[in-house]
Every structure is written in C-alpha cells, then in structure tokens.
C-alpha cells in the first residue's frame, strides 16, 4: 500500500511542478483573445466556465482506458505503477498540455492541421485519415462496452441491441447539437458518478485493509502468465494508454481549446485532467492486482474470462461497494466510455469540417458530415470487439507519438526547451515499433528482435529530428 500511496502523492506534487514548468516553456498570454472569444459561433466555439471545461476534458479522455486498461496492465504487476506515474507526468501531461495550447494558438484547429504546420503537408494528409479512423474506432468500441454493462445493470432488460440503440441516439445528438446544450449539461452528473466510482473503491481498500503489492526489486518483474510472449516492454506501455499517454487525448483537446476564455486555464484543464486520469488508473491498477490476492491470481481470473476486464470491474464494484454502490460505480464505468465515444464522433466531425472548410454553425453541414461517420461505425460494430480494441490500442499510441514529435519540432523552431517532448517522443517511437513487430496482431516476431528494431527506429527518429529541425530552423515559424 505504501508504494501505491507514494505514487498518488508523486502525481499530485508532479502536477504542480511539471505543469508549471510546461506553462513557463510555452509562455501563456492571459491577455490574448482565445478562439472561444474571437471566433464564437454558438456551436463549437462557446465560452464555458473553467470547472465545466475541466470536467468535460476529464470525461472526454477518461474512457475505458484508465479502468479496463489499468486492470489489464496490472497483470504485469507493480511495474504498472511506475509507468502510470512516469507516463502521466513526463509523457501524457506534456502531450496533452502542448497539444491543447497549440490548438488555442492556432485558432482552435484540429490536431491534424497542427501536425501539418510543423511536420509538413504529407504528414497532415496522413494524420487526417489516421485520426478520423482512430476516432471512429473509439466511438465504435465505446458503444458495445457500455451497452453490455447496461444490460447487466438492467438485469437483461431490453437486450444488448436495445442499449446500443439508446447510446447511438445519444451519440448522434451530442455530435450535432451545440456543445453547451447537451454535453455541457450532463457531463457534471457523469463526472460525479465516475469520481464516486474511483474514490469509493479507494476508500473501501482502506476499510477492508486490502494489501497492495509494493514496488521493490523482487516485484519489478513480469507477472504475466505468458511472460515470454508478453514482455513488459512494449506491452505495458500500450496496454495502459489513457492512464499514462494517449493520442486520443490530442483529438479531444481542441474541443476544449474552443471553449476556454483564458490561456492560463490550459494548465488545470489539459495537464490537470491528465493527472486526474492517472490517479483513476492507479486506483484500478492497485485494486486489480490485489483484489484476488496478487497479480498472479488476477492473471488466472483474466485468463478464465478470456481477457474480459469488465468481469473484474463488475466483481470488484459489487464486492466492495455493495449492490447500490456497485450500480453507481458501474454507471461511472458506463459514463466514462460514453463520454469519450460521443466526443470522438464530434471530433471526427470537426476534423472533416476543418479539412473541407465547412461552416459548422449550419445544421445541415453538421448532418452531412456526421451521417457517413455513423454509417461506418455501424459496419465496424459487426467485427469482434477484441480485434477492434487491439488495433485501436496501437493506433492510439502511434498518434500520440506523432503528436509528441510535432510538439518537439514546434519547441525547437521557437527556441524553447524541446527536450521535454523529445525524450517521450523517442521512447514512444521505440514502443510502437516494438509492439507492431512483436504483438500477435502485428508481425509476431521474437521480443528480442522487436525490441532491438524499436530502439533502432527511435535512434533513426532522433537523427531525422536533428536533420529536419536544422533545415527548418531558418524558415518562418508557424507559431502564432
């Protein structure tokens, strides 16, 4: 339990120190008009109070990742604590803060367009397609997951497809309507449910005196039941994504960049929401690896359930919080993915609108873009959930890596401390390359070959960066 509590403490202290450092590097200007003020349209560019922006950002990014991903990541043991803490502070927080602030400075534009400014048109075109595909996948996987949980809560009432239809109708409305009409009103309620779930579990861990494994030399090993096939590197760094670093976050930050009224709000909104999500991931990783007696016991349960983390979440919630508490907790688990799925489709609409320069204050334009997105999602729902989720995980971290390289180039060109982004960009390059080569859904190569290749590609990335950055240094900066 001591290691777990220290991890939470480090996250909280790290927020105040590292987020302030990032703010200083970026150079916020509280007197500069934000997109919410300068481009107000009553649909996407809408000024909102900072507490509401924080809750929306937190719920946008806190999908199933910091819950299901953290439980799955706990199969590797206490090493998950280290990745959640270090990943959140040194990678995820940096990624989320700078991607959000760059959107503010670039008139609320999507991350696809921002990548194009700093990495060139070819990357911009690739990112447009890549991001829209990712967002549709997010929206799709965040339909079936909560629908199945709602069937359990309702004791089978309606069946899965009934709840899928209900969620789908909500997604359509949240994608089309102005952000303050639906999302802005219900997110505070969802936020309470999600926070109750996390901190309710935390409180009951103390009440029941649950023993959480400590981080030490003996426990920093691979507890996975197939350690040779699933080494810590790179699998932990892809499995635990939203609780450490996630490219999906960069697609969500522009939504809030269009609602903020002061650049100083970026620190609590972007970095603060990431740290809050990290704390939620820590809680679920801790209870995941301790509820059944230890990481090895969790592996046995997950294997028996064919990797279904929803079973573990359901059992933990009901066991620790009772029937009523369990239902409220599970509603929090439902709220998390739904409030990521809705804004995934909304973000996809905005990216496509930015590409084709379509005004979004016109309802017909919003419908014309949204209908094909939902049609594709319906087709994807016919695929196996596990397959879609695995490809989403790698795609998600690849997007985060590209965004980190974008931030690095931006900082270098503007003579700012670029090392803060260069280090996580290089590390994540090694992670996504190794995972693609080793994973069963990738090339299934041996871990030794995959890891060596990942490091080699990361080194090539560093060489490319210095050659590219020096070439661009003499050009006019895209900073605005």
86 within some domain = yes
396 within some domain = yes
374 or 271: which carries more pLDDT confidence? 271
pLDDT digits (tens, 9 = 90+) for 61-109: 886 678 888 999 999 999 999 999 999 999 999 999 999 999 999 999 9
What is the rounded CA–CA span in Å between residue 36 and residue 94? 23
What is the rounded CA–CA span in Å between residue 110 and residue 104? 10
Residues 135-148 have a mean pLDDT of 79
Number of H helices, E strands in the chain: 20, 0
Query: Is pLDDT of 160 > 60?
Result: yes
pLDDT at 395: 86
Q: Phi and psi of 478, rounded to 5°?
A: -85, 5
pLDDT digits (tens, 9 = 90+) for 161-201: 899 899 989 999 999 999 888 888 887 777 777 777 888 89
Least confident residue range of 246-250, 430-434, 467-471: 467-471
Query: Is pLDDT of 478 > 60?
Result: no
- Answer yes or no: pTM beyond 0.95: no
316 or 385: which carries more pLDDT confidence? 316
Tokens of residue 145, six digits: 């997951």
Q: Domain limits at 145?
A: 2-400
pLDDT digits (tens, 9 = 90+) for 249-288: 999 999 999 999 999 999 999 999 999 999 999 999 999 9
Query: Is pLDDT of 326 > 90?
Result: no
User: How many domains in the chain?
Assistant: 1
Chain-wide mean pLDDT for the chain? Answer: 89
62 within some domain = yes
CA distances to 226, 306, 333 from 309, in Å = 17, 9, 12
184 within some domain = yes
Would you give the DSSP letter of residue 263?
G
Is residue 162 classed exposed, middle or buried when 0-12, 13-18 and 19+ CB atoms within 10 A define those classes?
middle
Assign 385 a pLDDT band (cuts: 50, 70, 90): low
Would you give the DSSP letter of residue 75?
G
Residues 334-338 have a mean pLDDT of 78
What is the rounded CA–CA span in Å between residue 148 and residue 176? 25
473 within some domain = no
462 within some domain = no
Query: Is pLDDT of 3 > 80?
Result: yes
pLDDT at 59: 84
Contact criterion met (CB below 8 Å) for 367 and 128: no
pLDDT at 2: 94
- 241-258 CB burial, b ≥16 within 10 A, e <16: bbbbbbbbbbbbbbbbbb
- Find the CATH number of the domain harbouring 181: 1.20.1740.10
Assign 473 a pLDDT band (cuts: 50, 70, 90): low
Residues 415-432 have a mean pLDDT of 96
Query: Measured between alpha carbons, how far apart are the two ends of the chain, in Å?
Result: 47
Largest Cα separation within the chain, whole Å, is 65
138 within some domain = yes
Assign 426 a pLDDT band (cuts: 50, 70, 90): very high
Tokens of residue 5, six digits: 């509590």
- For residue 393, give the H/E element and its range: helix 385-413
430 within some domain = no
Assign 389 a pLDDT band (cuts: 50, 70, 90): low
Helices (H), 67-120: 70-73, 79-87, 93-105, 111-119
């Amino acid at each position: 339990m001591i290691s777990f509590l220290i991890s939470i403490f480090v996250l909280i202290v790290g927020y105040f120190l590292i987020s302030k450092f990032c703010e200083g590097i970026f150079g916020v200007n509280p007197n500069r008009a934000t997109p919410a003020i300068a481009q107000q349209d009553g649909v996407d560019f809408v000024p909102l109070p900072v507490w509401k922006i924080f809750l929306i950002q937190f719920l946008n990014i806190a999908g199933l990742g910091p819950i299901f991903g953290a439980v799955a990541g706990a199969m590797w043991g206490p090493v998950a604590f280290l990745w959640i803490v270090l990943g959140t502070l040194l990678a995820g927080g940096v990624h989320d803060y700078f991607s959000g602030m760059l959107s503010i400075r670039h008139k609320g534009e999507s991350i696809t367009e921002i990548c194009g400014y700093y990495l060139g048109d070819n990357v911009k075109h690739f990112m447009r397609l890549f991001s829209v595909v990712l967002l549709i996948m997010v929206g799709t996987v965040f339909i079936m997951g909560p629908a199945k949980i709602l069937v359990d809560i309702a004791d089978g009432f309606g069946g899965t497809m009934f709840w899928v239809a209900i969620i789908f109708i909500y997604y359509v409305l949240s994608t089309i309507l102005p952000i303050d009409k639906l999302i802005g009103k219900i997110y505070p309620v969802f936020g309470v449910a999600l926070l109750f779930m996390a901190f309710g579990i935390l409180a009951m861990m103390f009440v029941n005196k649950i023993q959480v494994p400590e981080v030490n030399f003996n426990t920093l090993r691979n507890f996975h039941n197939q350690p040779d096939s699933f080494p810590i590197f790179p699998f932990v760094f892809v499995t635990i994504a939203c609780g450490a670093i996630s490219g999906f976050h960069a697609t969500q930050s522009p939504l809030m960049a269009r609602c903020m009224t002061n650049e100083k709000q970026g620190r609590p909104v972007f970095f603060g929401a990431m740290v809050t999500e990290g704390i939620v991931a820590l809680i679920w990783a801790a209870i995941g690896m301790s509820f059944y007696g230890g990481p090895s016991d969790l592996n046995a349960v997950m294997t028996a359930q064919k990797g279904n983390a929803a079973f573990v979440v359901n059992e933990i919630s009901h066991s620790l919080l009772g029937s009523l508490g369990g239902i409220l907790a599970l509603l929090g688990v439902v709220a998390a993915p739904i409030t990521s799925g809705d804004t995934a489709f909304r973000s996809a609409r905005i990216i496509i609108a930015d590409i084709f320069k379509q005004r979004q204050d016109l309802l017909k334009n919003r419908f014309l873009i949204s209908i094909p997105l939902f049609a594709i999602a319906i087709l994807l729902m016919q695929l196996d959930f596990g397959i879609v989720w695995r490809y989403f995980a790698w795609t998600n971290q690849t997007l985060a890596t590209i965004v980190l390289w974008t931030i690095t180039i931006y900082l270098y060109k503007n003579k700012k401390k670029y090392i803060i982004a260069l280090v996580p960009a290089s590390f994540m390059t090694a992670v996504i390359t190794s995972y693609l080569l080793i994973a069963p859904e990738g090339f299934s190569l041996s871990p030794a070959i995959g890891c060596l290749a990942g490091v080699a590609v990361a080194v090539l990335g560093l060489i490319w960066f210095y050659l590219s950055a020096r070439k661009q240094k003499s050009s006019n900066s895209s900073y605005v």
